[in-house]
Chain A
Amino acid sequence: MTLTTLRSVRRECKGFLQDLALPPRPTTDALIDAVAARRGRPLRLLDKDGAGEVCGVWISTTKCDYVFVDALATGLHRAHIVAHEVAHVAFDHGGPRVLSDDAVTGLLPDLDLEVVLKVLGRQSYGTHAEQQAEVFASLVLSGPPAPPGAGSREASPELNTLAHSLGSRTRLKHGRADVS
């Protein structure tokens, strides 16, 4: 993730979090309720049984969004997993493709990707979505969002300083990140 991209993603996440009008450090329930209300779609949190490499999963159907979180995860870890998955929901990362290429490769190693996609009839989204979800989760857990109108659309001074020292001549402008 480039610095410019990170700042842009961070700005998007801050803006969205403000729009949700949540209190600082919202509870998991409050976050879920706010996102569900915002989307006008039911959102359900389900425990994932058993151990495994998969920590959190968002499954979106035509009717409802389901966030699965590892039943063994507790405290901050659990909150972070939920926030990450809820971010996928909140930003509507329901891209046209059901499974990312990584997931297809990992879960369906013996199947031909093209055939799988024909069966599922959808396309993919890029890494920007993963970045958004991760940054959003960090913001949710890191404290209150900046008050509206207090330069919240700008990248933090620290980030701009760092960007400058790294030779970036581009200051952040409002808008979507260009992710290649």
Chain B
Amino acid sequence: MAGAHGDERPTDGQVARTEEPSTGKSLAKKVDHLFATVRPAKGEYSYEAVSTAIRDTGGPTISAAYLWMLRKGQRDNPTMKHLEALASFFGVPPGYFFDDALAERVDEQLSLVAALRDGDVRRVALRAAGLSSASLATISDMVERVRALEGLPEDPTTDAPPAPRGKRSSGTARDST
């Protein structure tokens, strides 16, 4: 449950987003992406839950309100310890926040996890000689095809246009029922 949504929202007029000069996502966007993507099926972790979990695992004190401000771009000066704790909670390397190449790689991996969750995928059994980033793309493609076949919406966290439904399944797809 994202119970903290809107509860402690400061005046929207004060929002001063700071976009980084690099081509990568801003800190706010990255934090937002982690909240939106790294979550169980029932919904996002609340700011309170993240704050509590970080504290309970011996991390620094980072309030729910501060997490909200980081996500909304109202704060962009967290300490290294804050970022490390946040990265740890969401299961990504701390470099996610600084290294755009790494962030891109991590985002691809997060996309697969989200697709598996959202596609109600119970199991992926692989027969592979080895697994690599190429395999990641292959598996992600398969999961997307399965979701398309079942008429589920595309992953809302990506900007990619919807795959042509049914096209790729024709010919080789067969229903045994």
Contacts and interface: CB of A to CB of B under 8 A. Distances in A.
Interface of A: 29, 32-33, 36-37, 42-50, 52-64, 66, 68, 71, 81, 84-85, 88, 93-95, 97-100, 102-103, 105-116, 118-122, 129, 133
Interface residues of B, number: 55
B129 A118 contact: no
B126 to A, nearest CB: 5
Contacts of B91: 111-116
A47 to B, nearest CB: 4
B80 interface: no
Interface of B is mostly: mixed
A85 B123 CA distance: 12
Contacts of B89: 115
Contacts of A42: 175-177
B40 A85 contact: no
A119 B117 contact: yes
Given A32-B176, A66-B142, 16 more contacts: A36-B176, A42-B175, A43-B176, A44-B169, A45-B172, A47-B171, A48-B138, A57-B127, A57-B139, A59-B146, A85-B127, A94-B122, A98-B121, A99-B124, A107-B136, A108-B109
A52 B146 contact: no
A102 B127 CA distance: 11
Given A110-B93, A116-B91, A52 B176 contact: no
Max chain A CB contacts within 10 Å: which of B93, B119, B129, B174? B174
Contacts of B142: 46, 48, 57, 59, 66, 68
Contacts of B125: 57-58, 60, 85, 88, 93, 100, 129, 133
B127 A66 contact: no
